[in-house]
Amino acid sequence: MITIQNISKTFEVHKREPGIVNSFKALFNRTYTQVEAVKNVSFSIDEGEIVGFIGPNGAGKTTTLKMLSGLLYPTSGTISVAGHTPYDRDVDFLKMISLVMGQKNQLLWDLPAVDTFKLQKEVYEVSDGQYEANLDVLVDMLDARDFIQQQVRKLSLGQRMKCELIAALIYNPKIVFLDEPTIGLDVVAQKRLRQFIKDYNKQYNATIILTSHYMGDVQELCKRVIVIDKGVVGYDGALDDLVKTYASDKTITLTFAHEMQKADLESFGSILTYDPLRTTFSIPRSEMKRVASEMLSKLPVDDVDIAEMPIEDVIREVFSEK
Amino acid sequence: MLQTSMQYRFSFFIELFIEIGYIAWTLAFIYVVFGNITEVGGWNYHEMLVLIGVFTIFSETIMGLFFIWNLRLLPEKIKNGTIDFTLLKPINSQFILTAGNTYISSFFATIPGMFLIWYGISNLEFTFSVVNSIAALIVFICGVIIIYAIMTIISSLAFVLTNAQGLPRLVVDLYQFGQYPPTIYKNIPKFIFTFIFPVVFIAGIPSDIFLHGLNIPNVLLSIVVAIAFLYGSIWVWKQMISHYSSASS
C-alpha cells in the first residue's frame, strides 16, 4: 500500500546572532545551514495496518507524514502511496487519504461543526445517502451527537478533536495520517479516541499511520512501530519485540514513611534516582511482581508508583545499541 | 450584539467613504490637469472620464470582489502553514487560494464607476454599438485575467520567500499605470505595458474600442497575451508550490 525508499528531506534555515546589529548584518549576508529533517528513510506498509511513528520532538515524524500525504516534496528518494506519487496531488489520491493534525484545525471556527462536514461532503463529492450513512456511523462511534450542531469555538478540546476526526473521515478515506491526535486531551478522552481509531480501522480496513509521543497511544493501537530520532529510523518491527528488547525494565518509585539509607535499598534492584524519602528502581518486567511485593512487605512504604519506562528512555536505548 | 453590528456598520460606512474619497481625489486631479491642457494622448476630458470609470470598475469592483484580499492573505497563510488542509483537498488549490473568498462590499464601487462612464459619454458625440461594447468587454476580461495571473505569480513567490506580505501591494501600485490612455506610452514603455506588464488591456484598450471603434488586432492581441499569462501563472504556481515547506506543528 505504501512504499518509501531512501527518502530524505532537507530544509534550509538561516542562522543569525541575536541583537539589532546582527539583524542588519543578516539582511545582506546570511549564513544558511542545511537541516536534514529526514535521512534515508525506507519502509513499506500493508493495507489495513496501524503503524505508529514514535520519537521525541523534532525527530522527523511530522515531516515524514507530510511527505506521505503530499504536502512536502522529498529532497530525494521515491514514495508510492496506493500507486500514486503523493506530491503530484492528483484528485484520486487526495480523495483516498486524510490528514489529521492534533495541533491544527480545519473546522470552520464560527460555524457549527456540521457545516464543515457538509463542506467536506461537497468538496469530496460524497453522495447524499453515503454522507448520511457515514455521518451516522461516525457520530455514534464518537458519541458526538450532542455537540455537532454547536459553534466550533464553543466546543471543548476533546469535542473539537472528535469533530475534526468526523470531518476528516466523512468521505471514507482508505489511508489516514494522524499527527498526534491525542495531544492535550485528558486520559479518558485519549482512551475514547484510541478505541475509535481501532474501530475505524476494523470497520473500513483502513491503513492508519499515527505519530505520537505518548507510549500509551502506540501500545494500545499499533502492532508495529517505527522509531525515528534525528531523521533516522532506529527500529521498525513489532511493538512486542521493541518492548521486550529495549524496554525490558519497568520503573517502580517508592515513597517512604521515614528516611532510608541507600545501602538498605540496593539489594532490591538497580537504583535510578536515590533520595532518602523517594527512590526509583529499575526492575526487569518479569521480576516486577515478586520484587514489588517483597518491597511492600519489607520496607516502610507510604506510596508506590509502577510505570513503563518513559518513551524517551526506550528511544535512547534503541539508538544507544547502534 | 448591538455593539458588534454597529461596529460592522461603522466599518461599512468607512469603506464607502474611502471608495468615494478615492474616486473624488482622482477626479480632482484630472480636473486640475485638464484646466491646463485640452487633451492627453489624443483623449479629451470626457473620454478620460470614461477611461477612469472603466478603471474604477476594474480596480475597485473586480479586483476587490475576488482577488485582492485572497492574494494579500496568501503570504500570511503560507507563513503560518494554515494552507496545509487546502492543499490536500481534491480541488484546484490555485483557484481556491487566489479567488476563493468574495468580498461583497467592493461591489458598491460599480456605482461611481458606471456614473463616470455615463457622465463621460453623455457629453461626447457617441453612438452606441453592440459589437464594440462586446469587443471592449472581451478585452476587459482579458485584462482582468492578465492582472490576476501577474498577482498570482508574484504572490506565489511567498512559497519560496516565506515572508512576503508586501508583494501583492507592488502589483496594485503598478497597475495604476492602466488608468491613462494607452496612446501616451511610446517605445520602451509601450513595449513594457503591452507585453511585460500589460496594463493597457485593463481599461485603456477597452475604452478605446468602446469609444473609438473596433480594433481587431488589439482584441486578438489581448486574448493571446491573456492566455499566455494565465498558463504562465499556472506553471509558476506549480513550481512554487513544490517549494512549500509548511510550518512545523
Distance of CA A37 to the CA centre of its chain: 17
Regarding beta strands A249-256 and A301-308, do their DSSP bridges make them parallel or antiparallel, or are they unpaired? antiparallel
Q: Which CATH homologous superfamily contains domain A48-74+91-238?
A: P-loop containing nucleotide triphosphate hydrolases (3.40.50.300)
Asked whether the ipTM of the predicted complex exceeds the cut of 0.90, the reply is no
The predicted-structure confidence for A138-152, as pLDDT tens digits, reads as follows: 888 888 888 888 888
The domain spans of chain A are 48-74+91-238, 248-321
Looking at chain A, which residue has its C-alpha nearest residue B243? A73
Higher pLDDT, A50 or B166: A50
Q: Over range A27-55, report the average pLDDT.
A: 84
Q: Residues A94-148: pLDDT tens digits?
A: 999 999 888 788 888 778 888 889 888 888 888 999 999 989 988 888 888 888 8
Which helix (H) or strand (E) is B22 found in, with range? helix B2-36
pLDDT grade, residue B4 (50/70/90)? very low
CATH 3.30.70 fits A248-321, yes or no: yes
Chains A, B: CB contacts within 8 A come to 49
> Cell digits for A293?
511485593
Cα dihedral A76, A78, A81, A82 in deg (nearest 10): 160
The closest alpha carbon to B141, from B45, B44, B66, B234, belongs to B66
- What are the chain A neighbours of B243 within 8 Å (beta carbons)? 73
pTM above 0.90, yes or no: no
The shortest CB-CB distance from A71 to any of B82, B246, B248 is to B246
Average pLDDT over chain B reads 82
Mean pLDDT of B111-129: 84
Inter-chain touch A62–B248, beta carbons under 8 Å: yes
Compare all CA atoms of chain B with the CA of A92 and give the residue at the minimum distance.
B90
Identify the contact set of chain A against chain B, taking CB-CB distances under 8 A. Answer: 11, 62, 66, 69-73, 87, 89, 91, 94-95, 97, 99, 101-104, 106, 123-125, 179-180
**Integer Cα distance of B108 and B16 in angstroms:** 8
